[in-house]
Chain A
């Protein structure tokens, strides 16, 4: 096994969730300064393992033990809070109804998902029929996904992922929804993946499925790996634990869970570092110091701050841009700015602004304009030789309308007389 290519390597991976009550608190939790009082929950508390090509790894554990969180990190959907997750190859996660648009048809969803995975139209066309056949949906493929049953959804999801050709396949309880025939078919298919040298992660609560598929089992227990080994070693232990756990009274069970959950809340990275150091000391005291150095970054939360260089560049750009804006606002020339830099500020004085407006012909312009408009639109001075009829024809208004507006009794007008021309509607 060890000679095969390492596809996934986890090194002291942790994942913290902020138990914030509101969205705004979640944002606060991001910033150390604000986020003091917000409780944490460590879903994964420092997990290390390696997975190789051609391995099928079953993940077992009770609900809330961090299985899904761990697999999401393996798939690259979320990033670890600290530690390193190295993934060599493409990943594909199969979960119930994951990543489908309910209003689109099954066929459209296949196309969309395939596009996102970088397939070309041709490749999709070639695979489309196989996918539809594998999904066993028949005529329903052209119905919107929202009308599918959960079994149909998971079948479709599985079919798409089967043909997506990823190096690392993650099956998160997706097999437990379909009927036994489909499950059997999926498992056959998954076994072929294994022969193709893919790494398969596989979550299931069914011991039978686990026995059939997995050759190695990781037992997650409240954020830790409790056991990691061949299926024959881990499964009996897990079953023994379950039996023991089920025999406990309700109260005892609750206390047990509470104790572990509390540990997940109070966990700190410092704590993990200490445990790890002790473990190494016991294992190999000689190389302890060196190893500590190597692993130092593994216990620090990855809180990317803006680099100094970037900060300086950003500041320079902001200052320069604001300065230029200022120059633009005051219509100052480059020569003026060079000669009197202080004018960038003093020119904002109201008197200076008024002067600027005047220079650019903006002052009082508004009033003149309205005068002009009313003059041309509404009143008219009669010139030599004009009759009411010719004025009316020029202004495109009826004679009667002009007479009515000016309260004229007959059609005679004298030169120099001022008429009001009504606005035609």
Chain B
């Protein structure tokens, strides 16, 4: 508890620096390429395009997906899910490695170590917003009308952000202590798209109910599905599914308590481990 409070105070204090570094990182990332920022978006855009082609267009109308009506709906459904998942995947992966790769440099600067994973997440935000803007354009194009439910976007965005940070505290610390963890984590994240309901709906009638329910416990699913329920057709308010909310926030709080504790416990020795 004390640890969480300490970390929150540090984050608030270093927030301006975090934002500036994130901005700087984005500026630097593709400096030496001719096309610069283009590469930043080309890769995810290509993947989303392929997935739309393979699953939405090829599979046709609404087969196997009870959530989307028509081809247009399916495309919006996939695009929104993939944009969200790509952001979470890269933020999770980079933040997990952040402390290990930067402690040498950053600890010489009196920069709060707890803010390093946050910096990575914030850095990823720019790409996310651009991609989201593209997906949004698709959504509007697909004849979904704006509604009051769209306000929920902020709730899910904050939920996603808090979840990513809590998780990054745990994973970044474990990566420093046990470097093997990162490899396993990255591998899981790469295939995670297929079990998080990004492309294949986890409540497809062809799954046994128990399997569907297990997959639905995944916090990533909660977030992705939340965005879809907010922005696409048949929106519902987030508080209508009480249990799912409680489970999600339960997981977040557990991660936060554990993450803050192990981060604080080991931070003084990060330098010794790297």
Chain A interfacial positions (CB closer than 8 Å to B)? 17-18, 23-24, 26-27, 30, 72, 75-79, 90-93, 95, 98-101, 104, 108, 111-113, 115-118, 120-121, 304, 306-307, 309-310, 313-314, 317-318, 320-321, 324-325, 327-331, 353, 356-357, 360-362, 365-366, 369
| Residue B28 interfacial (CB < 8 Å) | yes
A residues less than 8 Å from B213 (CB atoms)? 328-331
In the assembled complex, the CB of B88 is this many whole angstroms from the nearest CB of chain A, namely: 20
Nearest first, the 4 closest Cβ-Cβ pairs linking A and B are A79-B268, A321-B250, A116-B109, A99-B108
- Count of inter-chain pairs, beta carbons less than 8 A: 133
Contacts of B251 in A (CB 8 A): 321
Asked if B269 CB lies within 8 Å of chain A CBs, one says: yes
B110 CB-CB contact with A under 8 Å? yes
Query: Which among B243, B265, B271 is the interface contact of A328 at CB below 8 angstroms?
Result: B243
B271 near A317 with CB under 8 A, answer no
Given contacts A111-B24, A118-B17, A362-B209, contact A78 B268 (CB under 8 A): yes
Contact indicator A98/B272 (Cβ below 8 Å): no
Residue numbers in A under 8 Å from B20 (CB-CB): 115, 120-121
B207 contacts A362, C-beta separation under 8 Å: yes
Residues of B within 8 A of A121 (CB): 20
B179 at the interface (CB under 8 A from A): yes
CB contact under 8 A between A99 and B28, given known A309-B1, A310-B257: no
User: Which chain A residue lies CB-closest to B106?
Assistant: A116
Q: Told that A116-B17, A330-B213 touch, could you supply 13 new A-B pairs with CB distance under 8 A?
A: A26-B272, A72-B271, A112-B21, A113-B109, A115-B17, A116-B109, A117-B109, A317-B257, A321-B251, A328-B244, A357-B208, A361-B205, A365-B205
Nearest-CB residue, chain B, relative to A103: B32
22 contacts between A and B (CB under 8 A): A27-B273, A30-B266, A75-B110, A77-B108, A78-B271, A99-B106, A112-B21, A113-B109, A115-B17, A115-B21, A116-B21, A306-B261, A309-B1, A310-B261, A314-B254, A317-B250, A324-B247, A325-B247, A327-B243, A328-B217, A328-B243, A369-B205
- Complex CA gap A92/B20 in Å reads 20
Indicate if the CB atoms of A320 and B28 lie closer than 8 Å: no
> Would A98 and B1 count as touching, CB distance under 8 A?
no
Interface residue B210 (Cβ < 8 Å from any Cβ of A): yes
Once A27-B177, A328-B244 are accepted as A-B contacts, the answer to whether A307 and B1 lie under 8 Å apart by CB is yes
Residues in A whose Cβ lies below 8 Å from that of B269: 30, 78-79
Which A residues lie within 8 Å of B217 (CB)?
A: 325, 328-329
- Cβ proximity bits B243-274 to A, threshold 8 Å, 1 near / 0 not: 11011001101100110010011101101110
A306 CB to nearest chain B CB (Å): 5
Instruction: Give the shortest distance, in Å, between A356 (CB) and chain B (any CB).
Output: 6
What size tier do the contact residues of chain B reach?
Answer: 35 or more
Interface residues of B (CB under 8 A from A): 1-3, 14, 16-17, 20-21, 24, 28, 104-111, 177-179, 205-210, 213-214, 216-217, 243-244, 246-247, 250-251, 253-254, 257-258, 261, 264-266, 268-269, 271-273
Whole-angstrom CA separation of A314 from B205 in the bound complex: 36
Which residues in B have their C-beta under 8 angstroms from that of A76? 110
Q: Is the CB of A314 within 8 A of B257?
A: yes
Instruction: Select A93's contact among B108, B214, B216, B257, beta carbons within 8 Å.
Output: B108
Bound CA span A342–B228, Å: 35
- Check A26 against B273 for contact (C-beta < 8 Å): yes
| Distance to closest chain B CB from A288 (angstroms) | 31
Selected from B110, B177, B244, B250, the residue in CB contact (under 8 A) with A320 is B250
Q: Is the CB of A108 within 8 A of B28?
A: yes
Per the bound structure, the CA–CA distance linking A307 and B207 in Å amounts to 43
Candidates B21, B247, B265, B271; contact of A77 at CB < 8 Å: B271
Residues of A within 8 A of B205 (CB): 361-362, 365-366, 369
| Chain B hits for A111, CB < 8 A | 24
Residue of A nearest to B103 (CB): A77
Query: Chain B's nearest CB lies how many Å from the CB of A337?
Result: 10
Contact B271 A98 (CB under 8 A): no
Q: How far is the CB of B57 from chain A (nearest CB, A)?
A: 15
B241's closest neighbor in chain A, by CB?
A328
Return the contact of A75 from the options B3, B108, B178, B246 (Cβ within 8 A): B108
Asked whether A331 and B209 contact (CB < 8 A) given A17-B272, A77-B271, A324-B246, the answer is yes
Residue from B21, B105, B178 in contact with A27 in the complex, judged by beta carbons closer than 8 Å: B178
- Measured in the bound complex, the distance between the Cα atoms of B28 and A117 in whole Å is 18
* A303 to chain B: closest residue by CB: B265
- A324 near B243: Cβ-Cβ < 8 Å: yes
What CA separation (Å) do A331 and B244 show in the bound complex?
A: 11
Which B residues are CB-close (under 8 A) to A362? Answer: 205, 207-209
Alpha-carbon gap, A291 to B109, bound state (A):
36
Q: Across the interface, which residues of B come within 8 angstroms of A77, CB to CB?
A: 107-108, 271
Chain A residue contacts of B216, Cβ below 8 A = 328
Question: Which residues of B sit under 8 angstroms from A328, Cβ to Cβ?
Answer: 213, 216-217, 243-244, 247
Q: Are A99 and B264 in contact (CB under 8 A)?
A: no
| Minimum Cβ distance to chain B for residue A107 (Å) | 11
A304 adjacent to B206 (CB under 8 Å): no
Cβ distance A43 to chain B, nearest Cβ, rounded Å = 11
Residues of chain B with a CB closer than 8 A to A100's CB = 105
- Contacts of B206 on A, CB cut-off 8 Å? 365-366, 369
Min Cβ gap B205→A in Å is 5
Which residues of chain B come closer than 8 Å to A112, judged between CB atoms?
Answer: 21, 24
Shortest C-beta distance, B62 to chain A (Å), equals: 13
Chain A residues whose C-beta falls within 8 Å of the C-beta of B109 in the assembled complex: 99, 113, 116-117
Q: What are the residues of chain A within 8 A of B268 when measuring CB–CB?
A: 78-79
> Do residues A318 and B254 form an inter-chain contact, with CB atoms below 8 A?
yes
* Residue contact B246 to A307, C-beta cutoff 8 Å: no
* Residue from the list A30, A104, A357 in contact with B28, Cβ < 8 A: A104
Q: State the CA gap A24–B28 with chains docked (Å).
A: 35
Report how far A78 CA is from B254 CA in the complex, Å. Answer: 28
A268 nearest CB across to chain B (Å): 19
CB neighbours of A331 from chain B (8 A)? 209, 213
Nearest residue in B to A17 (C-beta to C-beta)? B272
Q: Are A357 and B209 closer than 8 Å at their CB atoms? A: yes
CB pair B24 A115 closer than 8 Å: yes
- Our pick among A23, A108, A313 for the contact of B273 (Cβ within 8 Å) is A23
Task: Give chain B nearest CB distance to A260 CB in angstroms.
Answer: 22
Which one of B110, B243, B266 has the highest number of Cβ atoms from chain A below 10 Å of its Cβ? B110
Residues on B with beta carbons closer than 8 Å to the beta carbon of A307:
1-2
